[in-house]
Amino acid sequence: MEAERRIDGDRVVDVLEGIVAEQGRRPELVRCDNGPEMTSNALRDSCRFSRTGAAFIEPGSPSENPCVESFNSHVRDELLTVEVFSCLTEAKVMTDDFRQDYNRSRPHRAHGMMTPAALKARWQTTHSLPCRNQPTTSSHSRWTDERDPAT
Domains of the chain: 1-62 (3.30.420.10), 65-118 (no CATH)
| Torsion, CA 119, CA 99, CA 65, CA 70, rounded to 10 | 90
Give the model's confidence band at 133: pLDDT under 50 very low, under 70 low, under 90 confident, else very high: very low
| Torsion, CA 27, CA 9, CA 13, CA 41, rounded to 10 | 70
pLDDT at 137: 40
pLDDT in tens, 117-132: 888 888 888 886 554 4
- Please, how many CA atoms are within 13 Å of residue 50, restricted to the half-sphere of its CB? 19
| Whole-structure pTM value | 0.65
Contacts with 106 (C-beta within 8 Å, 6 or more apart), sequence order: 115, 116
Nearest-10 crossing angle of helices 9-23, 41-50 = 30
Q: For the stretch 4-17, what's the b/e string if a residue is b when 16 or more beta carbons lie within 10 angstroms of its beta carbon?
A: eeeeebeebbeebe
Rounded Cα–Cα distance for residues 10 and 59 (Å): 22
Rounded Cα–Cα distance for residues 106 and 17 (Å): 26
Inter-residue contact 61 to 27 (CB < 8 Å) = no
Residue 59 or residue 73, greater confidence: 73
Task: Provide the residue count of the chain.
Answer: 151
